[in-house]
């Protein structure tokens, strides 16, 4: 008898049982009181659902550090007939988590890719202006966006969109929090621990993107992904051959700083952020 059979079967059973759980329609968690002058972070989400899949550190900043989190929706996907539905789902997901919501364009931008940037500067320029407008309006202390090798064309496009927008805001300084989903980062420097409650709320928020998770129930695999991030991030962030982080769930990020004209490192080496540490301590 394989002693690990029950362990693996338990993972399988949980995912199968999860298919019967409700999609969206879950009462929102109480949002902490956020001061009008609280530090602000803006999450440039390539698609509706990126704010829930990759937004764990933003969620911790809101709940633990009382930051104001604003999701800046870049696109509403590539299918015209789904845009209205995806916007409605996005509003519900952000309301569940307690995130604010703004859009770069009422109908979402189209063609946010590195190819557009290289071959169609006339189409690219107004997109960059829209992103720069968000930065100038909100003056965030930190911005979240995908890293430059995140495989998906729109994710990579949003990386360049944000970096180009920063260059249009001379003198503006902030921290840069680069996320990953489709393509793994080769040089992350931050591993952020989440509680079971954090992950459950991120999964629940992702379930509000009903049309997407009905097609592919990826929300049910998020806990396993968060666990694998601990395996991978422990060495990528903590150093090859180092001791594994004593985390159950985590995500990897790359934290750097925009000094007003270029990117610079915040610290040398890598850092682990456990749940016992105030996440605002990263942004000093």
pLDDT digits (tens, 9 = 90+) for 212-269: 999 999 999 999 999 999 999 999 999 999 889 999 999 999 999 999 999 999 999 9
Buried b (16+ CB within 10 A) or exposed e, 98-123: bbbbebbeeebbbbbbbebbeeeeee
> What pLDDT is attached to residue 242?
84
Is pLDDT of 201 > 90? yes
Residues 195-200: contacts with CB under 8 Å, at least 24 apart = 195/249, 195/275, 196/248, 196/249, 198/56, 198/59, 198/60, 198/249, 198/275, 199/56, 199/223, 199/226, 199/249
pLDDT of residue 29: 85
Query: Which DSSP symbol is given to 249?
Result: E
- State yes or no: pLDDT of 75 exceeds 90: yes
| Helical (H) or strand (E) element with 175 | strand 174-179
3-state secondary structure of 215: helix
DSSP SS3 for 113: coil
CATH number of 33-282: 3.40.50.10320
Whose tokens are 């997109």? That residue is 127
Alpha-carbon torsion, ordered 98, 182, 153, 40, to 10 deg: 30
Task: Report how far residue 269's alpha carbon sits from residue 84's, in angstroms, rounded to the nearest whole number.
Answer: 44
pLDDT, mean over the chain:
97
Q: What's the predicted TM-score (pTM) here?
A: 0.96
Between helix 196-207 and helix 83-97 the angle, nearest 10°, is 160
pLDDT computed for residue 20 by the predictor: 97
pLDDT the model gives residue 249: 98
**Residues 81-94: b if buried by 16+ CB within 10 A, e if exposed:** eebebbbebbebbb
Q: How far apart are the first and last CA of the chain?
A: 54
Reported as a single tens digit per residue, the pLDDT across 140-195 is 999 999 999 999 999 999 999 999 999 998 889 999 999 999 999 999 999 999 99
């Amino acid at each position: 008898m394989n002693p690990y059979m029950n362990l693996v079967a338990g993972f399988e059973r949980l995912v199968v049982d999860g298919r019967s759980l409700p999609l969206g329609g879950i009462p929102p968690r109480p949002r902490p009181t956020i001061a009008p002058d609280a530090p602000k972070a803006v999450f440039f989400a390539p698609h509706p659902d990126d704010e829930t899949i990759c937004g764990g550190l933003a969620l911790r900043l809101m709940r633990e550090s009382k930051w104001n989190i604003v999701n800046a929706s870049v696109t509403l996907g590539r299918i015209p007939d789904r845009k209205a539905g995806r916007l409605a789902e996005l509003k519900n997901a952000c309301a569940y988590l307690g995130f604010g919501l703004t859009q770069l364009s009422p109908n979402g931008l189209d063609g946010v890719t590195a190819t557009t940037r290289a071959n169609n500067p006339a189409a690219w320029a107004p997109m960059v202006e829209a992103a720069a407008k968000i930065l100038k309006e909100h003056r965030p202390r930190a911005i979240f966006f995908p890293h430059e090798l995140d495989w998906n064309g729109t994710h990579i496009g949003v990386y360049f969109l944000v970096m180009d927008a920063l260059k249009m805001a001379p003198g503006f300084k902030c921290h840069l929090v680069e996320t990953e989903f489709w393509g793994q980062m080769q040089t992350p420097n931050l591993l952020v621990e989440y509680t079971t409650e954090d992950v459950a709320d991120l999964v629940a928020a992702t379930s509000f993107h009903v049309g997407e998770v009905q097609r592919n129930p990826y929300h049910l695999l998020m806990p396993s992904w968060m666990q694998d991030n601990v395996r991978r991030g422990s060495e990528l962030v903590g150093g090859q051959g180092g001791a594994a982080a004593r985390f159950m769930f985590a995500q990897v990020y790359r934290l750097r700083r925009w000094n007003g004209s270029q990117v610079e490192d915040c610290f040398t080496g890598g850092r682990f952020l456990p749940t016992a540490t105030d996440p605002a301590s990263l942004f000093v």
